[in-house]
Amino acid sequence: MASGTMVSRVLGFARTALLAVAIGSTTAVADIFEKANVIPTIIFMLLAGGIFNVVLVPQLIKASQAADRGSAYTSKLITLTVVVMALATALLTLLAGPIIQALSSGWTPQQVALGTAFAYWCMPQVFFYGVYAVVGQALNAHSRFGAYMWAPVLNNVVQIGVIGAFIFLFGAYRADGQQFETWSSQQTWLLAGGSTLGIALQALVLFIPLMRTGLHIRPDFGWRGMGLRHVGKIAAWTLASMTVGNIASLIYGRIVSGATAARAQLPDGGAGVPGEYALNTSQLITVLPHSIFALSLATVLFNELSSHFAKKERDLIAPALARGLKTTAVPILFATVAFIVLAGPVGRIFGGTSANAVESGAAIGQLLLLTTLGLPFKSVHFFLIRVFYAEEDTKTPMLIQTIIAVIGLIVAFIMAFTVPPLQIAFAMALLYGVTNVLSAIIAHFLVVRRYGDYGVASVVDTYLRIGWIAVISGVVGAGVLYLLGGFTHGFAWDSILTAIVSIVVVGLVMAVVYIVLLKRSAVPELDEFLGPLARRIPNLARASRARR
C-alpha cells in the first residue's frame, strides 16, 4: 500500500511540477484551472466520499462472510453507485457555470467563462471518483489493499503524458503577460479533458483485480434488502460531517480566489503572489507522508479495529491504537522537519521554468512552511477518529468536523475582511495548520472519554523522544543546505534540476543521521516501522532468485 501510494505521489509531484512549466504556478490560468479541477473532488466528497470510504467497509466485510463471499451485495452496491453518481454528475455538469460563479471572488467575466469551460470537461470526474471509491472499498474489504493504492499511478502517468503533449504543442509558460489573452479552446480541452481521462482510467482499471477476487459481479437493481436503512442511519452523520467539512473547503477556496483578481492589478502580474493553485500545491506536498505512511497504516488498523469491535474485544482497542500512533511517529516527524528545512528548494521545483520561477517557488515554499506545522497532528487526528468509525459511530467524527469547520469559517471570514487579498493564501495556510492541531486535541479528549486511556503518556513520550532526534537531523540538514546556497538563492535555486539535487543530498544526509540516532537510542518504534519492509525485501529477493 505504502509503495503504491509513494509511486503515485511522486508521479503526482512530477505532474504538478510539469503543469507549472506548462501554465505557471502563480498565474490566472493556473488558479482558474485549479478551481475547476478541484471542485469535482470536493463535490464528490461532499456527496458521498465519506460514505464510501468509511461507512461501507464494515458492511462489505460483513457481506464477505456470506456463502457467496459478498458477490450479490457488492453487485447491488456497484450498480447503485453507477446510477446515482451518473445522475448527480449530469446535473452538476449542467450547473458548471453557476458553480464557478458562486465559488469565485472578484473574477472578471472572462475568467468566469474560462473557469466554466474547464469545469464542463472536469465535472465528469465526479462519476469516476464514485466508481473508484466503491470498487476500491470492495477490494479493501477482501484485504486486497494494493490495487486501490496503485490505481492512481495510471492516472498520473496519463496526465503527465497529456501535459507533456500540451507543452509540445503550445509551448511552456513564458511570463510575457499574454497567457490569458491568447488562451485557446484547444488548450482547454486538452488540459481539462486529459485530467478527466486519467481519473476515468484510475477507476476502470480496478475492475481487473475485482474480477480476480472470484466475486461474480453483475448489474443488479434489486436494492431492497441491502440494509440501506441501517446504512443510511450511519451514513447520515458521515454525510453531515463531509458536508460541513467540504462546504468549508469550498468557501476557503472562494476566499483565496480573491488573490487571482488582485494579482492582475500589479505591474509585474504578481509573480510572487500565491493563489489557489499555489496553496493547493503546498497542501499536496505536505500531505505526502500522511498519505504514504499514516493512511496506509490506518487503513490496516481500521480493519483490525472493526474486527475487534465485531468480536467484542474492546480491551484490544487501546493497544492497537497506541501501536499505530507510535509507529507512524517515525516517518511523520522526520517528514515534518524535512519539509521545514527544505521548504525553499521544494517550492522551487513547483515554480516552473519562466522568468519569475524563483519568486513563484519562494511563495510556494513559504506556504509549505505554514501548512507543515500541522502535519503530525493531522495524522494523529486521522488515527483517533478511525476508532469511532470502526464502531460504526459516525456522529462523533461529525461533531468534531463541525466544531473545526465553524471555528475555521469564523476565522476565514474575519481574514477575508482584514487580510489583503495578496496575502490571503498565507493566512489560509496558517489556518489549515492550526485547525489540524485543534482537530487532534478534540479527538483525543473524546477517545479518552469513551474508551479510556490508550497509553497517552507513552505515546507523547515516544513523540518527544523521536521529535528531538528529528530536530537534530534537521539542524545537520540545514547546514548542508546552507553550503548548497539554499538560504541565499544559490545553487539550490538555479533550476528545477539543482533543486532536486539539493533535496536528494540534504534528504539523504538527514535520513542517515536520523536512522543512526534512532538506532543508537534504541527506539523500538523504528523496528516496528521498518520490520515489515525488512521482511519484505528478503522475500522479494528469494522470489526473484526462484524466477531466475
Q: Which helix (H) or strand (E) holds 215?
A: none
154 and 256 inside one domain: no
470 assigned to some structural domain: no
Q: Is 543 inside any structural domain?
A: no
Assess whether 172 and 307 both reside in one domain: no
Quick one: 225 and 237 in the same domain? no
User: What per-residue confidence (pLDDT) applies to 70?
Assistant: 62
Cα–Cα distance between 82 and 88 in angstroms, integer? 10
Task: Please identify every stretch of the chain with a pLDDT value under 50, giving residue numbers as ranges.
Answer: 537, 540-541, 543-544, 547-548
Place of cell 486529459: 194
CA distance 435 to 442: 11
Asked if 144 and 256 sit in the same domain, the reply is: no
Give the span between the Cα atoms of 65 and 320, in whole angstroms.
24
Verify that 317 and 388 share a domain, yes or no: yes
| The pLDDT of residue 547 | 47
Q: Are residues 181 and 263 in the same domain?
A: no
Pair 10, 125 in one domain = yes
453: exposed, middle or buried (Cβ count in 10 Å: 0-12, 13-18, 19+): exposed
Average pLDDT, the chain: 83
354 domain-assigned: yes
Query: Would you say the pTM of this structure is higher than 0.95?
Result: no
Does the residue 151 lie in any domain?
yes
What is the reported pLDDT for 246?
77
Please tell me whether residues 213 and 240 are part of one structural domain: no
Is 480 part of any domain?
no
One domain for residues 221 and 246: no
Strands (E), 252-397: none
Q: Can you tell me the distance from the alpha carbon of 332 to that of 122, in angstroms, rounded to the nearest whole number?
A: 33
> Could you tell me the residue range of the domain that residue 125 belongs to?
1-231
- 520 part of a folded domain: no
> Using one digit for the tens of pLDDT, what is the confidence trace for 66-124?
656 667 777 777 788 788 889 989 999 999 999 999 999 888 899 999 999 999 999 99
Q: Are residues 68 and 138 in the same domain?
A: yes
Does residue 467 lie within any of the structural domains?
A: no
Residue finishing a domain among 231, 246, 277: 231
Count of structural domains, the chain: 2
Cα–Cα distance measured from residue 14 to residue 361, given in angstroms and rounded to the nearest whole number: 15
